[in-house]
Structure 1
């Protein structure tokens, strides 16, 4: 699996997705997981009226990112096939509008089904490459009458630019500290004129609440209005721009087709590739990367410059800040992976004592740059 992650971050999806399938063999997996159900795995053939269970795994962001494959799977399995998705309650309302998908609430007895497949295995099953990612947005939507209280708070505020903000990732994941930044690091953004920010994270620390109050930050905390992802989606739809660290909100905004700027750590997750400022997964997304490990200063400075450029326009058009040149991106990433950057990130993880992450990136580096083997380096 580590080799798969390294291949994926380098843009080699053909080999990387195949290697990524080894994740189902991890000893740490819960034995009650659908990975261990006795039902056969779906091989992509027409199911001729049978029932397919698509089960989720990993985090909310993964589920939001890969739910885009359901229409393709529905077409592949046949119109007479019933698709069941094992769904967490916080996603029920958000996914309820997906045509042809029957939601089975998590922790409730599953309906009978014939074959199964993980949602995260769908890109591999469909032979996804950088060039063939289904990137049409929006592929999620919510009703207009959801979360009217929060929407009213947004409407009441007069500002040229209304920006959603998420600065910390949920701390239950091992990489959360690397992906999160302190609210104090974002203080330069609050000095910008004609912009008001709206906090889109469910958990706000006492220290952050105190900072917001004492510094009189132009930030409205909407955590009380964030019941589930449909609530968050309704808010996102009424904002001009979302700025977030690597969290589920980044995927949600991208899936809704909203402009979203993502702050990424020096060694990012595989889906964000290396060096590029845009994403083949979300055409309305722009990436702001750390240039030094654990240092957000330069990334936030670039965000401030980009925001200043937006509000300086007579007609604020965030779409012009998006980079749609996917064909060039795909070709450059797939054909010429940045080996120096891959090696540097691997070494940074090693020096930080993050051996598992370092191993993943080193394996990818040596699998791509096989000339090092001839030199006796490995």
Structure 2
């Protein structure tokens, strides 16, 4: 075995040999490195084996729990603080567990990053939202958000998927619909990049260039929803008049959610707007690399997490151009 089983397993994954990667992880479990268990868990989750994968996913780095941790025990009105973790998309995806937690008898509070609280407050079951830096009375229990699928014994068949579970502000929605009413044809939002500081971003973010093939589809008007460093890829480009940049006006997730409600379709890479569109129940086409994040599973074009999503997957070694080409063909059929 390689001195670095994680690197060896990743080489097998890059070669498309998931069984070989899993064998490496299994053989290395005795080394005591929690990352090995976490990676094995993610590989099992990717293949839809939630029964074995979710317990191993508990070896991921987790937020510190200062008080008592909720571990699935019965509740009778106690306040449980769900501690948001990892990225915005993770918070949007897993906050759905507030409803089943409330059904267990909890008063549910959600802790999250600044800018997301207004939307998460609309989730069924949520009684309070605490953004980073805000104070709250000590809760009775705390639980990391991404531990909830494990604690509820989630399987592919029992994923809470009552969509939508986020609600955009009605006044903002009306404003965006009024603003976009002048544009004809199918209104398509575009997102091509995630957080560039994440070390695996190259595997999930196509960038703007492959998306340019979409812009000549007749009968559609395109709107950039892109935020962050990837938005700079628009600078200095000569784009057709049917491509409008909304990014500067999307000052928080509430604005982005309202804009999505005024669109007919969102096309997004694997990043938070894909989760936002899915949680709102908006039609969303998600562009995925050959080895996607575990939540998108394998060999399927739908998602049990987001019933309104359609998945477009790159084949191993083919790059982003062909998958965007297939998406373009589907878009032509959609507007035709």
TM-score, normalization by structure 1: 0.75
In terms of mean alpha carbon deviation, does 175-184 or 54-63 score higher?
175-184
Question: SS in structure 1 opposite 2:171?
Answer: coil
CA distance in 1: counterparts of 2:156 and 2:219, whole angstroms: 38
- Structure 1 residues 283-330: Cα deviation after superposition (integer angstroms, max 9, x where no partner): 111111111337111111110110111111xxxxxxxxxxxxxxxxxx
In terms of mean alpha carbon deviation, does 220-229 or 48-57 score higher?
48-57
Q: Is the 8 A contact 1:263 1:288 kept in 2?
A: yes
CA distance in 2: counterparts of 1:46 and 1:92, whole angstroms: 27
Report what 1:144 is aligned to.
Answer: 170
1:236 pairs with one of 230, 253, 260: 260
Question: SS in structure 2 opposite 1:156?
Answer: coil
Listed as ranges, the matches of 1:62-77 within 5 Å are 62-76=90-104
Residues 1:259 and 2:283 aligned together: yes
Q: Which runs of 5+ in 2 are unaligned?
A: 1-37
Residues 1:176 and 2:201 aligned together: yes
Pick 1 or 2: higher relative contact order, CA cutoff 8 A, min separation 6: 1
Report what 1:332 is aligned to.
Answer: none
Report what 1:19 is aligned to.
Answer: 56
Report what 2:139 is aligned to.
Answer: 113
Q: Is the 8 A contact 1:265 1:293 kept in 2?
A: no
Shift of 1:62: 0.6
Residues 1:201 and 2:238 aligned together: no
Report what 2:5 is aligned to.
Answer: none
Residues 1:3 and 2:40 aligned together: yes
CA distance in 1: counterparts of 2:246 and 2:290, whole angstroms: 29
CA distance in 1: counterparts of 2:216 and 2:71, whole angstroms: 54
- Structure 1 residues 83-117: Cα deviation after superposition (integer angstroms, max 9, x where no partner): 22112221111112234421112122332112111
Question: SS in structure 1 opposite 2:130?
Answer: strand
The 3 A distance-change label for structure 1 pair 48 and 4 is: same
Shift of 1:50: 2.3
Q: How many residues end up aligned between the 2 structures?
A: 297
Q: Is the 8 A contact 1:178 1:294 kept in 2?
A: no
CA distance in 1: counterparts of 2:231 and 2:247, whole angstroms: 11
Report what 2:182 is aligned to.
Answer: 156
Question: SS in structure 1 opposite 2:60?
Answer: helix
Listed as ranges, the matches of 1:208-227 within 5 Å are 208-211=234-237, 214-216=238-240, 218-227=242-251
Shift of 1:217: 5.2
CA distance in 2: counterparts of 1:239 and 1:219, whole angstroms: 13
CA distance in 2: counterparts of 1:267 and 1:14, whole angstroms: 21
Residues 1:48 and 2:73 aligned together: no
The 3 A distance-change label for structure 1 pair 51 and 206 is: closer
Report what 2:24 is aligned to.
Answer: none
Shift of 1:205: 4.3
Shift of 1:149: 5.2
CA distance in 1: counterparts of 2:111 and 2:233, whole angstroms: 37
